[in-house]
Structure 1
Amino acid sequence: MPHRRLPNKRPIQHQRVEAGGRTVSAEETHLEAPKNDLPQARLGWIMACIQTVIYGSFVGTFIVSPATMTRPIAPGMAVTVATVGGLLAILSTMILTGLYVLLANRLTAR
Protein backbone atom coordinates (compact mmCIF):
# COMPACT_ATOMS: atom_id res chain seq x y z
CA MET A 1 0.00 0.00 0.00
CA PRO A 2 1.63 3.30 -1.06
CA HIS A 3 1.96 6.06 1.50
CA ARG A 4 -0.19 9.08 0.98
CA ARG A 5 1.57 12.33 1.26
CA LEU A 6 0.01 14.81 3.69
CA PRO A 7 -0.29 18.41 2.58
CA ASN A 8 2.25 20.76 4.09
CA LYS A 9 0.78 22.63 7.00
CA ARG A 10 1.97 26.04 8.01
CA PRO A 11 2.43 26.80 11.70
CA ILE A 12 -0.47 28.67 13.28
CA GLN A 13 0.14 32.38 13.49
CA HIS A 14 -0.99 33.76 16.85
CA GLN A 15 -3.00 36.91 16.61
CA ARG A 16 -2.47 39.84 18.89
CA VAL A 17 -5.38 40.62 21.22
CA GLU A 18 -6.07 43.76 23.21
CA ALA A 19 -6.48 42.82 26.89
CA GLY A 20 -6.79 45.32 29.69
CA GLY A 21 -5.20 48.21 27.84
CA ARG A 22 -2.14 46.29 26.66
CA THR A 23 -1.53 44.14 23.63
CA VAL A 24 -0.79 40.47 24.31
CA SER A 25 -0.68 37.42 22.12
CA ALA A 26 -3.69 35.11 22.05
CA GLU A 27 -1.42 32.41 23.42
CA GLU A 28 -0.67 34.45 26.56
CA THR A 29 -4.35 35.04 27.34
CA HIS A 30 -4.95 31.28 27.69
CA LEU A 31 -2.08 30.89 30.15
CA GLU A 32 -3.33 33.42 32.67
CA ALA A 33 -5.37 31.79 35.43
CA PRO A 34 -7.49 33.55 38.03
CA LYS A 35 -5.49 34.15 41.16
CA ASN A 36 -8.17 32.99 43.64
CA ASP A 37 -8.90 29.53 42.24
CA LEU A 38 -6.57 27.77 44.66
CA PRO A 39 -8.14 28.97 47.96
CA GLN A 40 -11.64 28.12 46.71
CA ALA A 41 -10.58 24.68 45.55
CA ARG A 42 -8.78 24.04 48.83
CA LEU A 43 -11.85 25.17 50.78
CA GLY A 44 -14.04 22.86 48.71
CA TRP A 45 -11.79 19.88 49.34
CA ILE A 46 -11.62 20.60 53.09
CA MET A 47 -15.40 20.77 53.33
CA ALA A 48 -15.78 17.63 51.22
CA CYS A 49 -13.46 15.82 53.62
CA ILE A 50 -15.46 17.07 56.62
CA GLN A 51 -18.68 15.83 55.04
CA THR A 52 -17.07 12.49 54.20
CA VAL A 53 -16.05 12.05 57.85
CA ILE A 54 -19.58 12.92 59.02
CA TYR A 55 -21.25 10.51 56.60
CA GLY A 56 -18.58 7.85 57.10
CA SER A 57 -19.05 7.91 60.86
CA PHE A 58 -22.82 7.59 60.38
CA VAL A 59 -22.43 4.55 58.12
CA GLY A 60 -19.58 3.16 60.24
CA THR A 61 -21.76 3.21 63.33
CA PHE A 62 -24.31 1.11 61.45
CA ILE A 63 -21.59 -1.41 60.58
CA VAL A 64 -19.97 -1.57 64.01
CA SER A 65 -23.05 -1.31 66.22
CA PRO A 66 -26.40 -1.79 64.49
CA ALA A 67 -28.12 -2.14 67.86
CA THR A 68 -27.13 1.42 68.75
CA MET A 69 -28.63 2.81 65.56
CA THR A 70 -31.93 0.93 65.91
CA ARG A 71 -32.41 1.97 69.53
CA PRO A 72 -35.18 4.53 70.18
CA ILE A 73 -34.16 8.03 71.24
CA ALA A 74 -36.28 7.74 74.39
CA PRO A 75 -38.25 4.81 75.82
CA GLY A 76 -41.59 4.43 74.07
CA MET A 77 -40.65 6.62 71.08
CA ALA A 78 -40.62 5.34 67.53
CA VAL A 79 -37.82 7.72 66.47
CA THR A 80 -34.48 5.90 66.38
CA VAL A 81 -30.91 7.08 66.72
CA ALA A 82 -30.44 6.34 63.00
CA THR A 83 -33.28 8.68 62.05
CA VAL A 84 -31.82 11.56 64.03
CA GLY A 85 -28.28 10.78 62.82
CA GLY A 86 -29.43 10.69 59.19
CA LEU A 87 -31.23 14.00 59.52
CA LEU A 88 -28.16 15.54 61.15
CA ALA A 89 -25.97 14.24 58.30
CA ILE A 90 -28.31 15.86 55.75
CA LEU A 91 -28.45 19.07 57.77
CA SER A 92 -24.64 19.18 57.97
CA THR A 93 -24.51 18.94 54.16
CA MET A 94 -26.79 21.96 53.85
CA ILE A 95 -24.81 23.95 56.42
CA LEU A 96 -21.46 23.14 54.81
CA THR A 97 -22.81 24.06 51.37
CA GLY A 98 -24.09 27.42 52.63
CA LEU A 99 -20.83 28.05 54.44
CA TYR A 100 -18.85 27.22 51.29
CA VAL A 101 -20.91 29.63 49.18
CA LEU A 102 -20.48 32.39 51.77
CA LEU A 103 -16.72 31.91 52.10
CA ALA A 104 -16.08 31.33 48.38
CA ASN A 105 -17.96 34.53 47.50
CA ARG A 106 -15.85 36.45 49.98
CA LEU A 107 -12.69 35.02 48.44
CA THR A 108 -13.90 35.97 44.95
CA ALA A 109 -14.78 39.52 46.05
CA ARG A 110 -11.18 40.22 47.10
Structure 2
Amino acid sequence: MTDTFVFRCTAAEKAALRQKAEAAGVPVATLLREALGRADARRRKPAPRVDPALVLAVGRIGGNLNQIARWLNRAHAAGLTPTIDAVEVARRLLSVERQLAQLLAQGREC
Protein backbone atom coordinates (compact mmCIF):
# COMPACT_ATOMS: atom_id res chain seq x y z
CA MET A 1 0.00 0.00 0.00
CA THR A 2 1.26 3.48 -0.83
CA ASP A 3 1.01 6.35 1.59
CA THR A 4 -0.61 9.53 0.35
CA PHE A 5 0.62 12.89 1.52
CA VAL A 6 -0.95 16.32 1.25
CA PHE A 7 1.38 19.07 0.17
CA ARG A 8 0.21 22.60 0.87
CA CYS A 9 1.64 25.60 -0.93
CA THR A 10 0.60 29.02 -2.16
CA ALA A 11 -0.78 29.61 -5.63
CA ALA A 12 2.52 31.22 -6.64
CA GLU A 13 4.51 28.22 -5.35
CA LYS A 14 2.18 25.87 -7.18
CA ALA A 15 2.64 27.82 -10.42
CA ALA A 16 6.42 27.73 -9.96
CA LEU A 17 6.33 23.95 -9.40
CA ARG A 18 4.22 23.44 -12.50
CA GLN A 19 6.60 25.58 -14.51
CA LYS A 20 9.65 23.61 -13.29
CA ALA A 21 7.93 20.29 -13.99
CA GLU A 22 6.94 21.40 -17.48
CA ALA A 23 10.48 22.58 -18.21
CA ALA A 24 11.80 19.19 -17.02
CA GLY A 25 9.18 17.34 -19.08
CA VAL A 26 7.75 15.49 -16.08
CA PRO A 27 4.55 15.64 -14.03
CA VAL A 28 4.62 17.72 -10.84
CA ALA A 29 4.25 14.54 -8.74
CA THR A 30 7.39 13.07 -10.31
CA LEU A 31 9.29 16.31 -9.73
CA LEU A 32 8.31 16.23 -6.04
CA ARG A 33 9.19 12.53 -5.67
CA GLU A 34 12.58 13.21 -7.19
CA ALA A 35 13.13 16.13 -4.81
CA LEU A 36 12.29 13.84 -1.87
CA GLY A 37 14.66 11.18 -3.19
CA ARG A 38 11.84 8.66 -3.59
CA ALA A 39 12.19 8.20 -7.33
CA ASP A 40 14.33 9.27 -10.21
CA ALA A 41 12.42 11.44 -12.62
CA ARG A 42 12.56 10.21 -16.17
CA ARG A 43 13.15 12.96 -18.67
CA ARG A 44 10.61 12.64 -21.41
CA LYS A 45 10.78 14.22 -24.79
CA PRO A 46 7.51 15.81 -25.79
CA ALA A 47 5.61 13.77 -28.34
CA PRO A 48 5.90 15.30 -31.79
CA ARG A 49 2.77 16.79 -33.30
CA VAL A 50 1.46 14.59 -36.09
CA ASP A 51 -1.27 15.26 -38.60
CA PRO A 52 -4.33 13.22 -37.50
CA ALA A 53 -5.05 12.33 -41.13
CA LEU A 54 -1.56 10.81 -41.37
CA VAL A 55 -2.15 8.74 -38.24
CA LEU A 56 -5.47 7.53 -39.65
CA ALA A 57 -3.88 6.59 -42.98
CA VAL A 58 -1.07 4.66 -41.31
CA GLY A 59 -3.66 2.90 -39.14
CA ARG A 60 -5.57 1.82 -42.23
CA ILE A 61 -2.39 0.46 -43.78
CA GLY A 62 -1.69 -1.42 -40.57
CA GLY A 63 -5.17 -2.91 -40.84
CA ASN A 64 -4.39 -4.06 -44.36
CA LEU A 65 -1.19 -5.72 -43.15
CA ASN A 66 -3.14 -7.49 -40.39
CA GLN A 67 -5.63 -8.82 -42.94
CA ILE A 68 -2.82 -10.18 -45.09
CA ALA A 69 -1.14 -11.78 -42.07
CA ARG A 70 -4.41 -13.38 -40.89
CA TRP A 71 -5.09 -14.69 -44.38
CA LEU A 72 -1.61 -16.25 -44.58
CA ASN A 73 -1.89 -17.74 -41.07
CA ARG A 74 -5.30 -19.27 -41.77
CA ALA A 75 -4.07 -20.74 -45.05
CA HIS A 76 -1.01 -22.18 -43.32
CA ALA A 77 -3.09 -23.65 -40.46
CA ALA A 78 -5.46 -25.25 -42.97
CA GLY A 79 -2.56 -26.81 -44.86
CA LEU A 80 -3.19 -24.64 -47.88
CA THR A 81 0.27 -23.10 -48.03
CA PRO A 82 1.09 -24.74 -51.39
CA THR A 83 -2.02 -23.15 -52.93
CA ILE A 84 -1.16 -19.59 -51.86
CA ASP A 85 -0.54 -17.36 -54.81
CA ALA A 86 2.84 -15.86 -53.92
CA VAL A 87 2.54 -13.32 -56.72
CA GLU A 88 -0.75 -12.04 -55.27
CA VAL A 89 0.77 -11.76 -51.80
CA ALA A 90 3.78 -9.90 -53.23
CA ARG A 91 1.43 -7.58 -55.17
CA ARG A 92 -0.53 -6.70 -52.03
CA LEU A 93 2.62 -6.12 -49.99
CA LEU A 94 4.04 -3.92 -52.74
CA SER A 95 0.83 -1.90 -52.65
CA VAL A 96 1.22 -1.42 -48.90
CA GLU A 97 4.86 -0.40 -49.34
CA ARG A 98 3.88 2.20 -51.94
CA GLN A 99 1.18 3.62 -49.67
CA LEU A 100 3.65 3.97 -46.82
CA ALA A 101 6.20 5.65 -49.12
CA GLN A 102 3.57 8.17 -50.22
CA LEU A 103 2.61 8.91 -46.61
CA LEU A 104 6.25 9.32 -45.65
CA ALA A 105 6.77 11.77 -48.49
CA GLN A 106 3.68 13.73 -47.42
CA GLY A 107 4.86 13.76 -43.83
CA ARG A 108 8.21 15.21 -44.86
CA GLU A 109 6.49 18.02 -46.75
CA CYS A 110 4.73 19.19 -43.58
Q: TM-score range by the shorter chain?
A: 0.3 to 0.5
- Point out the structure with the larger strand share: 1
> Normalised by the size of structure 2, how large is the TM-score?
0.45
Larger Rg, first or second structure (1 or 2): 1
- Point out the structure with the larger helix share: 2
